[in-house]
Amino acid sequence: MYDEAELLEAKRQIDSTLHKIHEVVKTFEAKEDPSRYKSQLTLAKRRLKAFGIANQLIEDKLAELKSGSH
């Protein structure tokens, strides 16, 4: 499996990507006609959901490692 350092780095990378995607969503939603960007917004929101799930799974695994249960 993965060690704590690898999981922490993966989480750091995902957090960074989540931040960037949030900014993309804000940018598209602030456009004069956001409906023109519907497909890009949908894709960005799906990515937010997917990365959010991955982040939660990493956090769960880190908590497992800290508690000593595998």
- Express each pLDDT in 8-63 by its tens digit: 999 999 999 999 999 999 999 999 999 999 999 999 999 999 999 999 999 999 99
Report whether 14 contacts 51 (CB < 8 A). Answer: yes
Phi, psi of 66 (to 5 degrees): -70, -35
DSSP summary character for residue 31: S
For residue 1, what pLDDT is reported? 85
- Give the domain range for residue 55: 4-67
In the structure, what pLDDT confidence band is assigned to residue 70 with cuts at 50, 70 and 90? Answer: low
**CA geometry: angle at 28 spanning 22 and 32, to 5°?**
150
Using a 10 angstrom Cβ sphere, with 0-12 exposed, 13-18 middle and 19 or more buried, the burial of residue 44 is: buried
Count how many domains the chain has: 1
